[in-house]
Amino acid sequence: MRTIQWASVVCFALAAGGCVADTAGSTEPTDIGTDQEALGANLAFPVDFTNCTEMASLAPVPVSAVRSRVPSSYALANEAAGTTFIVVRIANCQGTSVAGHATGPGTVAQVGVNLVSPDGTGDINNYALWYYTTNARLFARLRAIGVSAAQFVPDISYQFTSTGAGTGNLQIRVPGDPAFTVGGPVVVPTAAAVPYTANWWEDSCRGSVRMNTPIPAIQFSSATMTLRTARHSELGDIFGASTVTFPIFDSYNRFPAAHMNVAYR
């Protein structure tokens, strides 16, 4: 794939003034829509995901480990108690469409800090620390709107292996920055599907970006996942360890469709 050196991604201001989200030194593919479509005046965009499975898990961390990483305008979940939660979510979908462009199968991996809902919406709200995606167009559109957490990581590995009737083993490798692996036994979902809405937030140079994903019907099930990362990576520093489990919430889930709206709030 051809590459170019990005000096920066410019956020064109609609109001007075402007700003630049610096990505100096990064090398990204050219064929990812970094043209007027991605960098034009209307930066909000939709994403559709189809035929997906995911792991989604929460681990406790001291507020002191993450407070400086989240703007003070956001309240962390359970902040007064001195312990909040890191959310790790990796979804693998057989189909993806970004702003009306079908882009095929792909994987997204998200790591963030659990929030009190900033706007009263969503079943869960998280501040995005890292957003890895195998989808080049999605990466470009996220960066264009100001999501600096986004990384284009085309070689994320997501492998499910059946271990019997209704059980399996899920192994995921995310070779981004910071790199990590996560995996373990899972139970295939059989519960009745329920609606669920997840919001992921990041403050950009033009304001707060909300990645709002209502899932009309998701089946939840259980998992026993273990995350491994370099002890002195940014993620290892947050956890204070190289190996982490998820005693708060640990799940393996399935949903046929989800529609994400990415826009300023």
Say which CATH number the domain at 54 has: 2.40.400.10
Q: Is the pTM of this model over 0.85?
A: yes
pLDDT at 206 (0 to 100): 85
For residue 18, is it within any domain?
Answer: no
Number of domains into which the chain is organized: 1
Would you say residue 34 lies in a domain?
A: no
Distances (CA, A) of 219 to 82, 160, 215: 32, 17, 10
Ramachandran region, residue 207 (left: φ > 0; alpha: ψ -120 to 50; beta: rest): left
Q: Is residue 4 in some structural domain?
A: no
Domain assignment of residue 151, yes or no: yes
Q: Kindly state whether residue 199 falls inside one of the protein's structural domains.
A: yes
Asked whether residue 239 is assigned to any structural domain, the reply reads: yes
The pLDDT of residue 27: 38
Domain of residue 167: give its range: 46-264
Could you tell me if residue 152 is inside a domain?
yes
Strand partners, 45: 262
Burial of 30 (0-12, 13-18, 19+ CB in 10 A): middle
Pairing of strands 45-62, 249-264: antiparallel
Residue of 139, 173, 178 lying closest to 23 (CA atoms): 139
Query: Does 235 reside within a domain?
Result: yes
* Pairing verdict, β 3-11 and 157-164: unpaired
Average pLDDT for runs of 10 along the chain of length 265: 32 37 42 48 90 98 98 98 98 98 98 98 98 98 97 98 98 98 98 98 94 98 98 98 98 98 96
- Which amino acid appears at position 125 of this protein? N
pLDDT (0 to 100) of residue 205? 83
Tell me the helices (H) and strands (E) count for the chain, helix number first. 4, 16
